[in-house]
């Protein structure tokens, strides 16, 4: 019997500081040297909330907690490795937590929403635009 392929589950975190969004410059393929939201694959027996906290920490060294679910992104073509579904959260950093480069992130930077770099990985530009709309609708930007 042929094994049925299924979408892979991922998570991404949106961190806002002083009306700027945190992005990482990817140190791995796909999208090497493109900017992205921190995130990655959910592991077996892991909740989405635990996964996004772990992934954000692995890529930025930030200690965070989930704040609010922003949405789910499921375009089958969003990731060249195969069909992924990403669940995206707004995140809060804990006091004293500072971002640091890692093996997965060559650079980490906060960007104004109006100055997002051209080279953005996956469908993260859409996610960033959705986050911006949400924040503006609540007068948070």
Query: Which tokens sit at 45?
Result: 């027996």
Alpha-carbon distance of 80 to 110, in angstroms, equals: 26
Alpha-carbon distance of 106 to 109, in angstroms, equals: 10
Nearest partner of 87 among 100, 74, 106, 99, judged by Cα:
74
Query: Which tokens sit at 69?
Result: 């679910």
Nearest partner of 87 among 23, 9, 141, judged by Cα:
9
Choose, from 49, 59, 107, 118, the residue flagged as catalytic.
107
Q: What phi and psi, each to the nearest 5 degrees, are found at residue 52?
A: -70, -35
Q: Please confirm, yes or no, whether 107 is among the known catalytic residues.
A: yes
Alpha-carbon distance of 124 to 45, in angstroms, equals: 26
Catalytic center residues: 107
């Amino acid at each position: 019997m042929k094994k049925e392929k299924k979408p892979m589950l991922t998570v991404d975190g949106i961190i806002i500081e002083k009306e700027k969004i945190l992005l990482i410059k990817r140190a791995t393929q796909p999208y090497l040297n493109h900017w992205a939201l921190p995130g990655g694959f959910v592991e077996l027996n892991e909740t989405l909330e635990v996964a996004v906290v772990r992934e954000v920490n692995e890529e930025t060294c930030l200690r965070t907690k989930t704040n609010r679910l922003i949405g789910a992104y499921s375009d089958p073509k969003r990731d060249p490795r195969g069909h992924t579904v990403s669940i995206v959260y707004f995140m809060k950093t804990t006091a004293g937590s500072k971002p640091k480069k890692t093996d997965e992130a060559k650079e980490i930077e906060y960007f104004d929403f109006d100055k997002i770099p051209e080279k953005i990985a996956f469908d993260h530009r859409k996610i960033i635009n959705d986050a911006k709309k949400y924040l503006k609708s609540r007068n948070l930007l």
